[in-house]
A and B are shown apart, each in its own frame.
Chain A
């Protein structure tokens, strides 16, 4: 059953595929599920950045904050 889903072919470099497989293993997800997570997170980040918020990584031990910019 199609269930409203579309199929696409993804061309990745060896390094990108290794990262995708590594993430899938760590998160116990299929590679497709990892890509879906990435799309949802990317959209969320884009919308919130567009609303003026900032995305920051915080290192509590070193007491450092670094801002992540997403194009």
Chain B
């Protein structure tokens, strides 16, 4: 983009602007805020928790390993894997990057996005229904994880 601006113009306009509020973006009802914490069905939060835990275990990382690699707090990873609280967008982005998962889909599963994604919701239900709390990833779990990851990566 070519943006010609003389210094005189800039100084004059900056003086005119003052430094008051110039925000554009709507009032509370329209603007996303962590405080609003859109309700996400328990199944999707459960799918997020399972996805993060299983992907981590597939990579043979401890919770501490993942937290360090993703530059997030250990407590935040634990909370996500236990389906507690509402994760910060930054945490999800960092985890997604480290585990090669699509960040926008994680945001959906965490309930941080208002718009619905019916295909993702169905996939989350199927994935959550096939999960079970055991230590090592079984071949079935690995297959279910791979299938879910494939779906959300599309």
Contact = CB atoms under 8 A, between A and B. Distances in A.
Binding between chains A and B: yes
Interface of A: 48, 50-53
B150 interface: no
A53 B115 CA distance: 8
Interface of B: 115-119
A48 B115 CA distance: 8
Binding site of A, secondary structure by majority: helix, strand, loop or mixed? loop
A5 to B, nearest CB: 14
Contacts of A52: 115-118
Contacts of B117: 50-52
Contacts, number: 13
From A48, A50, A53, name the one whose CB has the most chain B CB atoms within 10 angstroms.
Answer: A50
A53 B116 CA distance: 8
Nearest to B118: A52
A13 B47 CA distance: 49
Nearest to A52: B116
B39 to A, nearest CB: 16
B109 to A, nearest CB: 14
Given A50-B119, A51-B116, 8 more contacts: A48-B115, A50-B117, A51-B115, A51-B117, A51-B118, A52-B115, A52-B116, A53-B116
B114 to A, nearest CB: 9
Contacts of B115: 48, 51-53
Contacts of B116: 51-53
A44 to B, nearest CB: 12
13 contacts: A48-B115, A50-B117, A50-B119, A51-B115, A51-B116, A51-B117, A51-B118, A52-B115, A52-B116, A52-B117, A52-B118, A53-B115, A53-B116
